[in-house]
Amino acid sequence: MHSAISSGHTSPERPRSTTNSEQHFEQHGGRSMGPQALLELVEKIFKRFNPAQVTLDTHVDKSIAGMQVTNPHDDTFLRQVVYGIIRYRQFLGSIMDSFYHYNGGTALREDMDMYKIFGYLTVFRADELGYSNLKRLVDAKEPQKMVVFFKYLFDERYLRGALRDNWLKLYDKQFVDDIIGRLLAFKPEVAQLLDSLEERVYFTKRKGDESTSGPMSESSKAPTSTSGRPATTVPRPFNLSQPRPKPLPIEEPLPLPPKRRPAPTHTEGPTKEELAIQAAKEANRKRQEAKYANASPFKLHTTERPTNIEKIRAEIEADISRQLTFQPTKANPMPPPPNTQVKLNAAAILREDALYRKKQLEEAATLQRYEAELRDGRAFKQWQTEQLNRDEAARQAEVEARRAAMSAVHELAQRARASAHEENKDVVRQLKEEMRAMVEAMEKEREEEMQAKQAKRLAVLDARAGVAQAAERVAAEKRSQAEEERIKQVMFVGSQRRR
């Protein structure tokens, strides 16, 4: 990267001399481009990149080949800058968000890609580029835009405030603090760059520069030699003190964990209150059982009334059976043919007359043909009529045979329908019987379950009564034992006193 920029620079004051290495590159790799051309190509490649359509390597290769970049140093510079911007796109995006938030009125949104390029070069590649090469890249762009961006980027308030907060959301604290330290260490050199840019923008100089550029003092006059010619100026480096980087903020100690109270002690078994509640429940249960032990069941008058539930059930089942039974609709018989007398009118009389005249004309034509041709066509007509009658008889016989076949098929279909109907009836009857058997089985099972529950209830009541009797017996035994022990103790005390 350093070689690409340094080889592309041409000093305006002195003609550029071509060294052996540069001649080698011009012969084998092409002549390098200047800083402005490199920045424009980087911005163009970055703007045209669409990750949804092509990979980054393919896009960069095609772009460099299409732009006819032949110098290897320029190729390396373009690739590294584009890859770096894509890699740190979240980092640079946070810089752009904060930058346009505080400088929305002095910076254009269309220059965001240019600011991303300079942000990447300044933050990550400034040590590699050096001050001179970075200055040449900055001088290749408009100074107004560069002044706004570099003033914001190297402002310690923003570095330790908004920018640091945004970067900590993406990266580790050590990485962010290292970047801020590098930028603050590079701030004195950037201050010189900002002075030169402000001079170009505002056409002003600092007061120290104006005092030195005023009338020449005695010490600033050029020394003269004995021959009267002015001696050459010997440059002297400025005696500038290197600024010490400011110490990083002290990390605040982590707060102490809160003290937790110990867990309460837990005793095994029920407590006194639980035992008292359980005894009260048992006493209430026994009292209720004793109260309702001889209770008689309720007698409902609705069970003694006459009912027709069986008749209603039979009607509902008959209705369901009728709905499930298929009953085809009967076709109406064909009406008899009409036997009416046709009343002749003028049109019918004219038709009959036309038919009669047509027959007369045909007979006249036949006589004329016989007179002219000396032969009669009645034999042919008779044969033709016989053939037509024979064809008509054959057609009628075929129709009758087809009608008979269709009648047979219809009878077979009726028989099949009737047999299917009977089978459906049998299936329905069988399903009803199975349903009735299932209902009876469920009722029987329910009755058996009720009987088993009643027996279990009686067994439980007997067991509870036995438990109560056993408890009474044990309590009586304990009382008797205690009484005996008390009597023994009294007798022992009396004997001791007598002694």
Nearest-angstrom CA–CA distance, 222 and 232: 8
Nearest-angstrom CA–CA distance, 70 and 28: 9
Q: Which of 36-50, 206-220, 289-303 has the highest mean pLDDT?
A: 36-50
Nearest C-alpha neighbor of 69 from the set 40, 112, 99: 40
29-56 pLDDT, tens digit per residue, is 557 788 888 888 888 888 888 888 888 8
Write the burial class of residue 131 (CB in 10 Å: 0-12 exposed, 13-18 middle, 19+ buried): middle
Nearest-angstrom CA–CA distance, 480 and 478: 5
Residue where the block lists tokens 């209150």: 273
The 10 Å Cβ neighbour count of residue 28 is 10
Q: Which pLDDT value is given to residue 499? A: 67
Flag whether the pTM goes above 0.75.
no
Q: Which pLDDT value is given to residue 431? A: 92
Is the pLDDT score of 395 beyond 90? yes
Q: What are 312's two structure tokens?
A: 């209603």
Q: Which pLDDT value is given to residue 222? A: 42
- Dihedral angle sign, alpha carbons of residues 454, 457, 461, 462: positive
Q: Which pLDDT value is given to residue 244? A: 80
Nearest-angstrom CA–CA distance, 59 and 53: 9
Nearest-angstrom CA–CA distance, 317 and 322: 9
The 10 Å Cβ neighbour count of residue 263 is 6
Phi then psi dihedrals of residue 68, to 5 deg = 60, 50
Is the pLDDT score of 255 beyond 60? yes
Q: Which of 93-102, 104-113, 198-207, 268-277 has the lowest mean pLDDT?
A: 198-207
When pLDDT is cut at 50, 70 and 90, the band that residue 131 belongs to is confident
Higher per-residue pLDDT: 229 or 170? 170
When pLDDT is cut at 50, 70 and 90, the band that residue 400 belongs to is very high
Higher per-residue pLDDT: 413 or 25? 413
Spell out the residues 6+ positions from residue 359 whose beta carbon is closer than 8 angstroms to its own. Answer: none
Nearest-angstrom CA–CA distance, 214 and 463: 124
Q: Which pLDDT value is given to residue 201? A: 84
Nearest C-alpha neighbor of 320 from the set 442, 430, 423, 428: 428
Q: Which residues pair with 230 in a beta bridge?
A: 224
Q: Which residues pair with 369 in a beta bridge?
A: none
Q: Which pLDDT value is given to residue 1? A: 60
Q: What percent of the chain has pLDDT over 90?
A: 23
Question: Residue 163 in contact with residue 95, Cβ under 8 Å?
Answer: yes
Nearest-angstrom CA–CA distance, 190 and 170: 26
Q: Is 327 helix (H, G, I), strand (E, B) or coil?
A: coil
Q: Which pLDDT value is given to residue 376? A: 67
Average confidence (pLDDT) over 103-107: 86
Q: Which pLDDT value is given to residue 469? A: 85
Q: Which pLDDT value is given to residue 439? A: 92
Higher per-residue pLDDT: 478 or 2? 478
Average confidence (pLDDT) over 138-156: 89
Nearest-angstrom CA–CA distance, 478 and 474: 6
Average confidence (pLDDT) over 193-211: 69
Q: Buried b vs exposed e over 368-406: b needs ≥16 C-beta within 10 Å?
A: eeeeeeeeeeeeeeeeeeeeeeeeeeeeeeeeeeeeeee
307-339 pLDDT, tens digit per residue, is 888 889 999 999 998 888 877 778 888 888 877
When pLDDT is cut at 50, 70 and 90, the band that residue 388 belongs to is very high
Q: What are 365's two structure tokens?
A: 């034509």
Question: Residue 75 in contact with residue 53, Cβ under 8 Å?
Answer: no
Q: Which residues pair with 381 in a beta bridge?
A: none
Nearest-angstrom CA–CA distance, 279 and 261: 35
Q: Which pLDDT value is given to residue 51? A: 86
Angle, to 10 degrees, between the axis of helix 35-48 and the axis of helix 112-124? 110
Write the burial class of residue 449 (CB in 10 Å: 0-12 exposed, 13-18 middle, 19+ buried): exposed
Question: Residue 167 in contact with residue 94, Cβ under 8 Å?
Answer: yes
Q: How many residues does the chain have?
A: 499
Is the pLDDT score of 17 beyond 70? no
Phi then psi dihedrals of residue 326, to 5 deg = -85, 125
Report long-range pairs for 239-244 (Cβ below 8 Å, ≥24 apart): 243/185, 243/187, 243/188
415-465 pLDDT, tens digit per residue, is 999 999 999 999 999 999 999 999 999 999 999 999 999 998 888 888 888
Is the pLDDT score of 239 beyond 80? yes
Q: What percent of the chain has pLDDT over 70?
A: 87
Question: Residue 324 in contact with residue 428, Cβ under 8 Å?
Answer: yes
Q: Which residues pair with 224 in a beta bridge?
A: 230
Q: Which pLDDT value is given to residue 322? A: 85
Is the pLDDT score of 297 beyond 60? yes
Q: What share of the chain is helix, strand, coil (3-state, %, to 5)?
A: 70, 0, 30
Is the pLDDT score of 218 beyond 50? no
Q: What are 294's two structure tokens?
A: 């001889």
How far from the centroid of its chain's Cα atoms is residue 289's Cα? 63
53-73 pLDDT, tens digit per residue, is 888 888 888 888 888 888 888
Spell out the residues 6+ positions from residue 176 whose beta carbon is closer than 8 angstroms to its own. Answer: 164, 167, 168
Q: Which pLDDT value is given to residue 217? A: 39
